[in-house]
Amino acid sequence: MNAAALSDPFLAPALGVALADWLAQLAALKGLSANTLEAYRHDVARYLRFLSEHRGGSAGIGAVVVTSQSDLRAWMAEERGRGLSARSLARALSAVKGFTAWAADRTGQDATTVLSARGPKFRRKLPRPLAEDSAAEMLFEIGADAREDWIAARDTAIATLLYGLGLRISEALSLTGADYPLLPSLRITGKGGKTRLVPVIPAAAEAVGAYAALCPFDLTPSEALFRGARGGPVNPRLIQGAMERARLRLGLPATATPHALRHSFATHLLSAGGDLRAIQELLGHASLSTTQGYTAVDAARLMEVYEKAHPRA
């Protein structure tokens, strides 16, 4: 993705070029995904357009660096006024700080006001895993209404990879025929192009083997391992739909999504005494703080059990 492709036609040319250059540097040095870059571009572009309108004219890159506290407060008030959540605004402010720091390095100006700004407080959402018995039921049930046996085996295999290996659905669907039969460990490319080795449990290897034996298409090395009814790659919405129907049959909450199986993998591993650093590596989290969210889930579950079991006077 080059700088020209990342430029914003609604910004003054100098600011559009600066934003594109910053995003291109992030893509090159940090290996951020296209989705992350687009989120950053959207957040910073809105901020830059606001500054231009708020000040009654196009703001140059130097003026952006020395933004005042009142300008920042006015921008945040407008974003909240249009319905942006505290969490999303905190993300937008983080992007603005990153761009401002980059711009300050180039102009030699003091960006302290922007870089010291505090975002809104928000409560991080805890992962919503399934109970162990519910996760097991989901693996059994997800293929129950498939119109063909091989499709049922496919959906079961994908769900087993999510719960048994902690894969994201995009990671499971990115596997190719070259990955079959599954080796004792899989090399997975996750967010930002980061790779990790994930041990393959026997249940996952068996589930994928059962699917491969029934699949009517040749699983050639260069093509997707998991196929749709017409032979093309599986659309993730098909798996989401299969899981939604299964959770309705099982009476599970709406939070029982494919990603919840990945959450369940981490939470159940932690409950069984798994090391937090090891779980971080298995999940491919860039930051340990992301993985630490599962400790809060585990503590919350422990307190729930305590409250139910503790005798009351």
Q: Spot the catalytic one: 46, 154, 168, 263.
A: 168
Query: Thinking of the domain 132-309, which architecture would CATH place it in?
Result: Orthogonal Bundle (1.10)
Taking the whole predicted model, whether its pTM rises above 0.75 is answered as: no
CB 48 within 8 A of CB 96: no
| 306 carries an active-site annotation | no
pLDDT tens per residue, range 71-93: 888 998 998 888 888 888 888 88
Neighbours of 176 (CB within 10 A): 15
pLDDT at 8: 60
Q: Spot the catalytic one: 227, 262, 263, 268.
A: 262
Above 90 in pLDDT, residue 222?
A: yes
| 285 carries an active-site annotation | yes
Above 80 in pLDDT, residue 260?
A: yes
Structure tokens at 64: 């952006």
Q: Spot the catalytic one: 91, 191, 196, 301.
A: 191
Q: Which CATH superfamily is domain 3-115 in?
A: Tyrosine recombinase, N-terminal domain (1.10.150.130)
| 263 carries an active-site annotation | no
pLDDT tens per residue, range 136-148: 999 999 999 999 9
Q: 49-58, 118-127, 254-263: which has the minimum mean pLDDT?
A: 118-127
pLDDT tens per residue, range 44-63: 999 988 888 887 766 677 77
| 262 carries an active-site annotation | yes
Question: Mean pLDDT for the chain?
Answer: 82
Helix, strand, coil percentages in the chain from 3-state DSSP, rounded to 5: 65, 5, 35
205 compared with 36, residue with greater pLDDT: 205
pLDDT at 188: 85
Structure tokens at 263: 């959450």
Q: Spot the catalytic one: 54, 91, 259, 301.
A: 259
Q: Spot the catalytic one: 46, 154, 227, 285.
A: 285
Residue ranges covered by each domain of the chain: 3-115, 132-309
Closest CA to 64 of 25, 26, 23, 114: 114
Residues with Cβ within 8 Å of residue 303, at least 6 apart in sequence: none
